[in-house]
Amino acid sequence: MIRVHHLNNSRSQRVLWLLEELGRPYEVVRYQRKANMLAPSELKRVHPLGKSPVIEDDGKKLAETGLIVEYLVARYGPDLAPARDSDLYWRYIYWLHYAEGSLMPPLLLKLVVNRLGLLGLPARRFVDAQLKLHLVFLEAELANAPWFLGDRFSAADIMLSFPLEVATQRGGLDQTRPRLMDFLARIHARPAYRRAIERGGAYLYGA
């Protein structure tokens, strides 16, 4: 059975949700953030970087959310992605890379700049401008369809959920971007999403 090493209030929540959408049985090993928000050191026994998510499947240990989503969908749920020989497939892979490679970094910067308080002020304008750029881009992407690949829900939507949820807390995402807010409302209403929250434990960023 697939085992998911899951850190509370983290990017690994998406992996639980994906497995629920796939209808795959899985086991959750839970880890709790320390008071300083960092991952506990026990995660270093799972993977040298000590981050979450890590999954175990079929004798393999896999880290990095984008890879995990790409792997699980290819192996267990090709219906959650476009056909490999279509142009849309590359759009799907784009979103898997974009979510952590481009959208999360300014959200991480924002967290650090916020923690610096007044000391971080000189960097705030730059970080806020970057975040706005992404939100404008993403809002426009939903102009003609409810999901990031068009009319069909896909694993790209699951991948983008976490940074967008985090953006409502510290990235400036609010009702001035109604399509993104509707997107979040739609995913939060999915039964598989709700079941994943039950399996993962209290989730700061969910509905």
Q: Does 147 bind its own copies (CB under 8 A)?
A: no
Q: Which of 56, 71, 128, 146 binds its own copies (CB under 8 A)?
A: 71
Q: Which of 20, 21, 70, 165 binds its own copies (CB under 8 A)?
A: 70
Structure tokens at 113: 């700049």
Structure tokens at 119: 């000391």
- Kindly tell me which of 58 and 202 has the beta carbon lying closer to its own copies: 58
Q: Which of 113, 166, 173, 184 binds its own copies (CB under 8 A)?
A: 113
Unique residue bearing structure tokens 């142009």: 87
Q: Which of 66, 77, 172, 201 binds its own copies (CB under 8 A)?
A: 66
Identify residues 153-182 at the interface with its own copies (CB under 8 A): none
- Kindly tell me which of 104 and 192 has the beta carbon lying closer to its own copies: 104
**Cβ 138 to its own copies shortest distance, Å:** 10
Q: Does 133 bind its own copies (CB under 8 A)?
A: yes
Q: Does 102 bind its own copies (CB under 8 A)?
A: yes
Q: Identify the bridge partners of residue 62 per DSSP, sorted by sequence position.
A: 55
- Tell me the Ramachandran region of residue 191: left when phi exceeds 0, alpha when psi lies from -120 to 50, beta otherwise: alpha
Using alpha carbons only, give the angle 31, 36, 41 rounded to the nearest 5 degrees: 40
- Does residue 61 sit in helix, strand or coil? strand
Side by side, the strands of the sheet bearing 54-57 are 26-31, 2-7, 54-57, 60-63
By CB under 8 A, how many residues form the interface with its own copies?
A: 42
Nearest in space to 47 (alpha carbons), one of 24, 73, 29: 29
Structure tokens at 96: 């898997």
**How many angstroms separate the CA atoms of 157 and 155, rounded?**
5
Stretch that binds its own copies, among 13-21, 107-115, 161-169, 171-179 (CB under 8 A): 107-115
Binding interface with its own copies (CB under 8 A): 48-51, 60, 62-67, 70-71, 87, 90, 93-94, 96-98, 100-102, 104-105, 108-109, 112-113, 115-116, 119-120, 122-123, 126-127, 133-134, 136-137, 140
